[in-house]
Amino acid sequence: MTGQEQIISSPSHILGLLRRLQATHALVSIQYGKDTHFYTTVILAIQPDENCFLIDAPDIAAWHTQLQAGANLQLLGRLAGVRIQCQVALLESLAAEDKAVYRVMLPRQLLYKQRRRHFRAQINDDKSLAIHLPLSIKQNIQGYVVDISASGVCTRIDFSDASSLAMEQAIRHARIALPDKQMLTCDLMLRSVRHYPEKGFSLIGGEFQHIPPHQQHHIERLVAALDRDQRRRNDIAN
C-alpha cells in the first residue's frame, strides 16, 4: 500500500482520532520551540465542551519555566502504525499528584498519513453527499458520505437503521448524489460496521464492486476535486 497525506479539518473527525489515541493508551510525542527532541507522553483526558484536552507533561524543568499560555507544541502519534501529526497551543500548566499536566487546545487541523491503496477524501459539512442503500423493495436506508476514495466509501447512518447491516454484506444498486447533480449507482460490499449508540449513528464502510469505467472516472474526479479544495482551505487558513 502506498501512503497518502490527508489534512483533516473536521472537528468531529479530529476529535475521533484523538479519542482513539486516548482509548488505546497510545504513546504520543511532543516537541517545543528549538528543542529538536520529541518527548513521550499520553493523552489523559479530552474535554470537547471546552475545546481542549490534557496531556501528561514531560519531566523537563526548562520547559516548565519557559512555557507560557499560547506556546505551540508539535504533537505526533500513531494509530495502528498510521502517523498523526498536529500543532496544539498551550492553555495552561496544571498540577496533578505532584506531576505537571498540560491543558492544550484541540487542533484546527491534523495531518493523517494514510496507509491505503487509494487516498480518502473527507467530505466537508458544506458539501454533504446523500447516499441511498436499498436493502429490499420496502427498505431503503439513507445516510451521508463521510469520506470517499477511488475504491470505497464511508457512510454515516442513523443507529436505528444499522441493525440490519453486517460485515461482508452485499448491497446492490446503492446510489450516491454527486455535487454536479448526477447520481452514481454502484454495488457495495460492506467491510466495516461501527456503532456509536450514545451518539445515535453508525459508520458503514463499503468497497465498490464492479463499477463501469465512466462511473469510476466520476469518482476519481470527485476525489481529486475534494482533495484540491481541502488543500486550498488549508492554505487560506495558514
Q: Among 96, 115, 134, where does a domain finish?
A: 115
As a whole number, the mean pLDDT across the chain is 82
Domain total in the chain: 2
pTM passes above 0.95: no
Domain edge (last residue) among 92, 115, 138: 115
**Where in the sequence is the domain holding 94, given as residue range(s)?**
3-115
Q: Does 132 lie in the same domain as 110?
A: no
Same domain, 166 and 231: yes
Shared-domain flag, residues 146 and 233: yes
Q: Are 126 and 228 found together in one domain?
A: yes
Asked if the model's pLDDT at residue 235 lies above 60, the reply is no
Asked if residue 99 has pLDDT above 50, the reply is yes
* Tens digit of each residue's pLDDT (9 = 90 or more) over 10-66: 787 788 889 888 888 888 999 988 877 888 899 999 999 999 999 988 877 667 677
At 159-173, the pLDDT tens digits run 998 888 888 899 999
Q: 193 and 126 in one domain? A: yes
- Identify the pLDDT of residue 156: 92
pLDDT at residue 227 above 80?
no
Contact 149, 121 (CB under 8 A): yes
Write down the pLDDT at residue 3.
45
For the segment 113-145, what is each residue's pLDDT rounded down to a tens digit? 655 555 677 776 555 789 999 988 778 899 999
pLDDT of residue 149: 83
Q: How confident is the model at residue 222 (pLDDT cuts 50, 70, 90)?
A: confident
pLDDT band, very low/low/confident/very high, at 1 (cuts 50, 70, 90): very low
pLDDT at position 2: 40
| Alpha carbon distance, N-terminus to C-terminus of the chain | 30
Residue with cell 498551550: 90
Distances (CA, A) of 30 to 60, 71, 76, 141: 12, 12, 6, 43
Contact by Cβ (8 Å): 155, 206: yes
Q: In the predicted model, is pLDDT for residue 208 greater than 50?
A: yes
Reduced to 3 states (helix: H, G, I; strand: E, B; else coil), residue 174 is strand
Instruction: Give the model's pLDDT for residue 97.
Output: 62
Low-confidence winner among 72-81, 103-112, 152-161 (lowest mean pLDDT): 72-81
How many angstroms from the chain centroid is the CA of residue 168?
23
- In terms of Cα–Cα distance, which of 169, 167, 179, 186 is closest to 225? 179
CA within 13 Å, CB half, 20: 14
In the predicted model, what is the mean pLDDT of residues 193-210? 88
**Looking at 55, 85, 115, which one is the last position of a domain?**
115
- Determine which of 73-77, 105-109, 203-207, 230-234 has the lowest per-residue pLDDT on average: 230-234
